[in-house]
Amino acid sequence: MPELPEVETVRYDLNKSLSGFQIKDISCNTTKILQPSLKEVIKHTKGLTISSFNRKAKLLIVELNKDWNFLIHLKMSGRLLIRDPGGVEDRWTRVIIALERKGIIKELRFADQRKFGYIKLIKKEELSDILSNYGPEPFADLSLQIFTKILKSSRRAIKKVLMDQVLISGIGNIYANDALFLAKIHPETSANYLNQNQIKNLFEAIEEVLKRGLKYRGASDNSYLDAFGKKGQYQEHFLVYGKNKENCPNCGSVIQKIVVGGRGTFYCPKCQLQERK
């Protein structure tokens, strides 16, 4: 699933390329992806202009110039693609938003193989309620102090806490695995067992792996593509994620795979010693 670096890369490109464009038309070939319905969405948004593309956690927020926002979630395999009309075909295209600015016509396509993603039209006033379900955001309101408080108040496995969007925004399986490796913390350690030094190391490791993810424009080990249909490169720089039975980049030990919170979890048994569950 696209995480903070992937969604932020897409947001940045969309904001740069499509802000100021006006919605000319929308088409949709798959039910439930466009909500509440194609008819309703067209009725309220045709002729509106896109002010900006924002993000909270893994959620994209398209601000329109009236009382409306689109909320877009890519979920497992969603892609948002900027295309010229009649240009390359994109497999699994579900929704096409036709846009125009000063005679230039573009398409914003939502393609999604597995169909878990969505584009939801909401009233602007509903936004703050929805966003209040998400925890603080790395590089923004997630300070070391707040991070410490979050960890100290949970006995759950640290990896589960990192990935819980209610507690912290934007971290998913890839970056949780690599951050824990960088901080030399076993993924099953109870969050409230970590000492202040470990918490600080982990806080810095999270920022470091997310920065690397952003620098390489996301990870395309799976279906993720950026807004121009190009792959990210972070998968070439994974530390332990997806590296079952390969050698630890730090000590050479064999990387192990376990399951934590239902997700494949990779760690080095020597660098990330288990301290306490």
Can you read off the two tokens belonging to residue 122? 């909401």
Residue 263 among the catalytic residues: yes
Which of 108-116, 183-191, 233-241, 247-255 is the region at the interface with Zn ion (rule: CB under 5 A)?
A: 247-255
Site size toward Zn ion (CB under 5 A) is 7
**Nearest residue to 72 (alpha-carbon basis) of 19, 125, 47, 35:** 35
Cβ 185 to Zn ion shortest distance, Å = 12
For residues 163 and 248, which CB has a smaller minimum distance to Zn ion in the complex? Answer: 248
Residue in this structure with the two tokens 């990935």, named with its chain if needed: 163
Cβ 269 to Zn ion shortest distance, Å = 8
Residue 58 among the catalytic residues: yes
**Nearest residue to 71 (alpha-carbon basis) of 16, 133, 160:** 133
**Nearest residue to 209 (alpha-carbon basis) of 237, 245, 233, 185:** 237
Cβ 77 to Zn ion shortest distance, Å = 32
Cβ 156 to Zn ion shortest distance, Å = 24
Residue 159 among the catalytic residues: no
b/e string for 184-217 if b means 16 or more Cβ within 10 A?
bbbbbbbbeebeeebbebbbebbeebbebbbebb
β-pairing, 34-35 vs 118-123, is parallel
54 near Zn ion, rule: CB under 5 A: no
Residue 55 among the catalytic residues: no
Exactly one of 54, 250, 256, 258 binds Zn ion (CB under 5 A); which one? 250
Which residue in the list 207, 263, 269, 275 is annotated as catalytic? Answer: 263
Which of 26-34, 95-103, 126-134, 244-252 is the region at the interface with Zn ion (rule: CB under 5 A)?
A: 244-252
β-pairing, 22-28 vs 93-101, is antiparallel
182 near Zn ion, rule: CB under 5 A: no
Q: How far apart are CA 83 and CA 212, in angstroms?
A: 27
254 near Zn ion, rule: CB under 5 A: no
Cβ 163 to Zn ion shortest distance, Å = 22
Exactly one of 248, 260, 265, 266 binds Zn ion (CB under 5 A); which one? 248
User: What does each C-alpha distance from 205 to 3, 58, 168 come to in angstroms?
Assistant: 16, 19, 15
**Angle, in degrees to the nearest 10, between helices 173-182 and 196-215:** 130
Which residue in the list 11, 58, 83, 106 is annotated as catalytic? Answer: 58
183 near Zn ion, rule: CB under 5 A: no
Residues annotated catalytic, as ranges: 2-3, 58, 263
Which residues form the interface with Zn ion (CB under 5 A)?
248, 250-251, 253, 268, 270-271
